[in-house]
Amino acid sequence: MATRMTINGVSTCTEAGTEKYERFQSGIGRRKRTLVQYDYRHTDGELFACVKPT
């Protein structure tokens, strides 16, 4: 699966104070779920990331 938020599993959210989010589907057959990956880099440089269902 190609994403715009990660390169080799590393977040591309590098600038302080920025946020990115991306929707994707996970699952097999009829059991697909839509999930959202959210990354936020605080102004002090700390990264907050989570994945939640919609």
Q: What is the pLDDT of residue 11?
A: 79
Query: pLDDT band at residue 3, thresholds of 50, 70 and 90?
Result: low
Instruction: Say if residues 34 and 27 touch (Cβ distance below 8 Å).
Output: no
Return the half-sphere exposure (C-beta side, CA atoms, 13 A cut-off) of residue 2.
Answer: 0
Query: pLDDT band at residue 2, thresholds of 50, 70 and 90?
Result: low
Q: Which residue has the tokens 């599993």?
A: 9
Q: What is the pLDDT of residue 6?
A: 75
> Regarding predicted confidence, which is higher, 2 or 40?
40
pLDDT tens digits for range 5-34: 777 777 788 889 999 998 988 888 888 999
Query: What are the Cα distances from residue 12, in Å, to 3, 21, 23, 32, 45?
Result: 10, 11, 16, 26, 13
